[in-house]
Amino acid sequence: MSERYTSTAKALHWLMAVLFFGLLALGFYMQDLPLSPEKLKLYSWHKWAGVTAFLLVWVRLFWRLTHRPPALPASMPRALQFAAHTGHFLLYALMFAIPLSGWLMSSAKGFQTVWFGVLPIPDLLSKNKELGDLLQTVHMSLNLLFAVTIVGHVGAALKHHFIDKDDILTRMLPVHSREN
């Protein structure tokens, strides 16, 4: 098994990190804006990026299943290995659940997504205000959990780098002295 992530894994990781950070920032920003053409435009962009993220997470999962990631350091306690695997599982689960909950919410609220203004994405649910409101709460809650999980993920990577002084962080950096 390789000691490094593949260039493709790194590219997908950082592309999706930027995409999800942008989605979270835009989502939190636009939620309290008054109804306006600007807000509707931002919602469209958010939905387009969400569909893109949903598609990319399938690519990323396929890549991860066909290209095993490097093993965690043998010196890492089993409890921390379990926590790392659980954290990664939660990140992947949320990367699927959040766009799906947004799609369901848009469907239930009666706002079809038209990807990049060109490709209509089919609604998954019939219009239902109460369900749409519930799904909005679910979508927001999942995003808050995602933000907390990301903070934990980044914190763990920094701990490995600055305290444990291992290569957990550097093997995922876009530029590294040794590639696969």
pLDDT bucket at 160, cuts 50 / 70 / 90: very high
Q: DSSP secondary-structure letter at 71?
A: P
> Domain containing 165 — which CATH number?
1.20.950.20
How many domains are there within the chain?
1
In a domain, 99, yes or no: yes
Q: What pLDDT does residue 175 have?
A: 82
Mean pLDDT of the chain: 94
What DSSP assignment string belongs to 113-143?
A: EEETTTEEEPPSS---HHHHHHHHHHHHHHH
Residue 180 belongs to some domain of the structure: no
Mean pLDDT of all residues in 145-170: 96
Is residue 67 pLDDT above 80, yes or no? yes
Confidence band of 3 (pLDDT split at 50, 70, 90):
confident
- The verdict on residue 60 lying in a domain is yes
Q: How many angstroms separate the CA atoms of 41 and 44, rounded?
A: 5
Residue 178 forms part of a structural domain: no
**pLDDT score of 15:** 97
Q: What is the pLDDT of residues 101-125, one digit of tens each?
A: 999 999 999 999 999 999 999 999 9
Does residue 108 lie in a domain region? Answer: yes
Residue 179 lies in a domain: no
Maximum separation of any 2 CA atoms in the chain, in Å: 55
In a domain, residue 132? The reply is yes
pTM of this prediction?
A: 0.92
Which structural domain, as residue segments, surrounds residue 151?
7-172
Q: Does residue 29 fall inside a structural domain?
A: yes
